[in-house]
Amino acid sequence: MDTTRSRASSGSPYEGTVGFARAVRVGQHVAVSGTAPIGPGGQVPKDPGEQTRRCWEIALGALAELGGGPEHVIRTRHYITDVDVVDAVSAVHGEIFGDIRPASTMVVVAGLLDERWKVEVEVDAVVPEA
Asked if residue 2 has pLDDT above 90, the reply is: no
What pLDDT was estimated at residue 14? 78
CA-to-CA distance for 78 and 89, rounded, in angstroms? Answer: 8
Average pLDDT for residues 106-118, to the nearest whole number? 97
* 130 pLDDT higher than 80: no
Q: What digits encode the pLDDT tens for the residues 5-33?
A: 999 998 877 788 999 999 999 999 999 99
Q: Are 51 and 38 in contact (CB under 8 A)?
A: no
Q: Which residue has the higher pLDDT, 41 or 96?
A: 96
| pLDDT tier at 107, thresholds 50, 70, 90 | very high
How big is the chain, counted in residues? 130
CATH superfamily, region 5-126: RutC-like (3.30.1330.40)
39 or 11: whose pLDDT is higher?
39
- The predicted pLDDT at position 16 comes to 87
Q: Coil, strand, or helix at residue 41?
A: coil
